[in-house]
């Protein structure tokens, strides 16, 4: 593979693909395109990889999708070797995972950090993209892939007087890398969306006074986070490979909590049950079916050890 370094002041020869952003999407893209034999260059504005999970370091930041689901599925080996410590991974855990993936698949050699793309023009004649960075460098490429995320540009509200505010203020999407101690301070949190509700309980524990400004209440339920159940994780990941079923994750969702699950009236459960049977062959366990008034309930117990 050719060396694809992009930072030359003279226009270098075209490469196959420029990928903008080194979050989940950008990292997978570089892995996939490299696997197709293309030479690629990732340009990332941040000083490190991770995207969302690099920028959003506010206290309490965590995934609100179960970690098992919020993982790459392209490598069975990766799935088998990675263990999530908690059901809903925290921001540092996810960042650790992303870094592990980058190292494991040697993705960093194609990534240029601290480089923001400022322009991208397509030339119909040469059929090439011309991509310009904030350092004034230009890269030409056959393909330009915007893996730049849909939530990666923080919106700082234009509150009148903000520039004269004498205290410190922070934006969750641009959180500093060093920890901030709110102990003994009067703190206001503006917003009760997904980030706000994660941040508020942590700040409330530290601050002398916390005032929350809420325009629109969200419907929020407790995450009930806790240690990931390793036994169940093994049974799900080892059987997920190669099984095509839209209903698989729905069927296995109860197992994330307990090796015994009651599954009622799930569409496609017949297919799911054939999958369950193959798990039972591997791990042992039993399935009982109960039927009453048109409702079928399957009680599935795995003997995972
Ligand atoms: C606080 C927060 C919590 C979230 N929680 C969840 C969750 O629990 N479950 C879920 O499914 N999703 C969640 N999301 C959505 C999350 O963004 C996606 O799950 C996923 O991480 C997006 O990955 P991505 O690679 O597409 O984009 P990102 O992770 O946003 O990465 C895009 C990258 O592109 C870079 N970039 C952008 N513009 C340029 C440019 N011009 N030049 C160079 N680089 C550029 C950015 O710096 C960034 O690193 C959350 C998002 C946020 C903000």
CB distance 24 to ligand 1 below 6 Å: yes
CA angle 191, 193, 195 (to 5 degrees): 95
Residue 156 CB–ligand 1 contact under 6 Å? no
Per residue in 249-258, pLDDT (tens digit) is: 444 554 544 5
Within 10 angstroms of residue 288's Cβ, the number of other Cβ atoms is 10
User: Could you give all domains of the chain from N- to C-terminal order, each with its CATH number?
Assistant: 7-146 (3.50.50.60), 181-223 (no CATH), 230-302 (no CATH)
- Return the pLDDT at 151: 86
Give yes or no for a contact between 43 and 19, defined as CB atoms under 8 angstroms apart. yes
Contacts of 53 (CB under 8 A, 6+ apart): 23, 61, 91, 94, 95, 98
pTM summary value: 0.77
pLDDT at residue 243, rounded to an integer: 37
Give yes or no for residue 174 CB within 6 A of ligand 1.
no
Identify which of 109, 103, 65, 71 has the alpha carbon closest to the alpha carbon of residue 87: 65
CB 117 near ligand 1, within 6 Å: yes
Better-scored residue on pLDDT, 133 or 224: 133
Does 275 contact ligand 1 (Cβ within 6 A)?
no
Question: Helix 24-35 crosses helix 91-104 at what angle (to 10 degrees)?
Answer: 10
Residue 3's H or E segment, with its range, is: none
Each residue of 211-241: pLDDT tens digit? 999 999 888 888 778 887 654 443 333 333 3
Pairwise pLDDT comparison (189 vs 243), residue with the higher score:
189
Residue 20: which pLDDT band, with cuts at 50, 70 and 90? very high
Query: pLDDT (tens digit, 9 = 90+) per residue, 187-219?
Result: 999 999 999 999 999 999 999 999 999 999 888
Q: Which of 62, 151, 153, 193 to mutate to test the pocket of ligand 1 (most atoms within 8 A of CB)?
A: 151
Nearest residue by C-alpha to atom 14 in ligand 1? 52
CA of 148 to the centre of ligand 1 (A): 7
């Amino acid at each position: 593979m050719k060396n694809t370094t992009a930072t030359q002041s003279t226009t270098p020869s075209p490469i196959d693909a420029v990928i903008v952003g080194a979050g989940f999407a950008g990292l997978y893209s570089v892995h996939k395109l490299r696997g197709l034999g293309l030479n690629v260059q990732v340009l990332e504005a941040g000083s490190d990889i991770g995207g969302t999970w690099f920028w959003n370091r506010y206290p309490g930041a965590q995934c609100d999708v179960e970690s098992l689901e919020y993982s790459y599925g392209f490598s069975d080996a990766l799935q088998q070797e990675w263990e999530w410590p908690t059901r809903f991974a925290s921001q540092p855990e996810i960042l650790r995972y992303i870094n592990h993936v980058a190292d494991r698949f040697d993705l960093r050699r194609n990534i240029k950090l601290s480089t923001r793309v400022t322009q991208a023009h397509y030339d119909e004649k040469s059929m090439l993209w011309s991509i310009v960075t904030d350092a004034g460098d230009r890269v030409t490429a056959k393909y330009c892939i915007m893996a730049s995320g849909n939530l990666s540009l923080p919106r700082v509200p234009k509150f009148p007087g903000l520039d004269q505010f004498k205290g410190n203020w922070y934006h969750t999407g641009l959180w500093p890398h060093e920890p901030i101690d709110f102990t003994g301070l009067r703190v206001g949190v503006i917003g009760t969306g997904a980030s706000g509700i994660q941040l508020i309980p942590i700040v409330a524990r530290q601050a002398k006074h916390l005032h929350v400004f809420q325009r629109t209440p969200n419907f929020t339920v407790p995450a009930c986070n806790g240690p990931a159940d390793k036994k169940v994780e093994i049974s799900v990941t080892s059987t997920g490979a190669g099984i095509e079923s839209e209903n698989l994750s729905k069927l296995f969702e109860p197992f994330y909590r307990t090796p015994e699950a009651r599954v009622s009236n799930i569409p496609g459960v017949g297919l799911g049950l054939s999958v369950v049977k193959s798990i039972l062959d591997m791990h042992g366990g039993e399935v009982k079916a109960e039927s009453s008034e048109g409702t079928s309930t399957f009680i599935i117990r795995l003997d995972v050890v």
